[in-house]
Amino acid sequence: MSSTSDQRMDREEVEAVVQRYHRVERIWSVAIAVLVAVVAISAILALPFLVGLLVALGLVALARAPLITRTTATSVATDADPSTVVSEFDDASPPNLAFQWGLADDVRSTDDGGAYDFSYFFGLQSAAMNVDVDVDDRPSESPETDVVSTLEIVATTNGRSWGTHTISVRDDGGETRLEIESSTDRRFGPLFLVQGLVADRYYADVLAAQGYTVLEREWSLSVL
């Protein structure tokens, strides 16, 4: 993390919000998984065995089937100047990905951005996320737009595309405005919605701990 970002960030608060998010997300994920299991077992017990088994397998497959993509649009403001904002997002730990780097076992800077390592199930499973940041600087005196810079952050997990985030940075006089558009680059199962909804609940809090105020946030789903 850059030194400027460290000065603006309340790191303890960021960690606290990330842990609250993780705790609630785990509780809901486990609860829904248990509910799916109970319904599946009930179907096996209540219906003829083969029919119940097919219903149970279909339910489990549907819960994990890659059917959904999700997009979000977030308006953000900060009193930091545009160059500071660009430097904070052009970093191994961009503010909008705090739920990712905040839960990683290891965060490393790379030439293009950062890399995160994760472990699951008591270290039996692992995953790696790469974050590549591309900055497009535009002259502030351009008569066509008040956008100072545009950043594109592309995240991949284990070599597979995961999500793209486009951040437009505007100089709005006494403050800097950001428009953050995020989309998943591959489809996820319905259980992924739990993670997204819980993240929405804590997104404004985790950005506030880094010096940003969420003004508006919208999301939409696309189902195959």
Rounded Cα gap, residues 38 and 32, in angstroms:
10
Give me the domain span that covers residue 141: 10-216
| 180 within some domain | yes
Q: What is the pLDDT of residue 3?
A: 40
| 4 within some domain | no
| 224 within some domain | no
Residue 94 burial (10 A CB sphere; 0-12, 13-18, 19+):
buried
| 223 within some domain | no
Q: What three-state secondary structure class fits 177?
A: strand
pLDDT tens digit sequence for 24-69: 999 998 898 888 889 888 888 888 888 888 888 888 888 778 888 8
CATH code at 114? 3.30.530.20
Q: What Å distances lie between residue 87 and 18, 38, 55, 106, 179, CA to CA? A: 22, 49, 52, 21, 16
Rounded Cα gap, residues 124 and 94, in angstroms:
28
| 5 within some domain | no
Q: What is the pLDDT of residue 20?
A: 96
**Bridging pattern class, strands 125-137 and 147-157:** antiparallel
Q: What is the pLDDT of residue 71?
A: 93
pLDDT tens digit sequence for 78-132: 999 999 999 999 999 999 999 999 999 999 999 999 999 998 776 677 889 999 9
pLDDT tens digit sequence for 191-201: 788 888 899 99
pTM of the complete model: 0.85
Q: What is the pLDDT of residue 4?
A: 44
Rounded Cα gap, residues 164 and 181, in angstroms:
8
Q: What is the DSSP letter of 188?
A: B
Rounded Cα gap, residues 54 and 93, in angstroms:
45
- Number of domains the chain contains: 1
Q: What is the pLDDT of residue 204?
A: 96
| 222 within some domain | no
Q: What is the pLDDT of residue 187?
A: 84
Q: What three-state secondary structure class fits 65?
A: coil
| 47 within some domain | yes
Is pLDDT of 142 > 80?
no
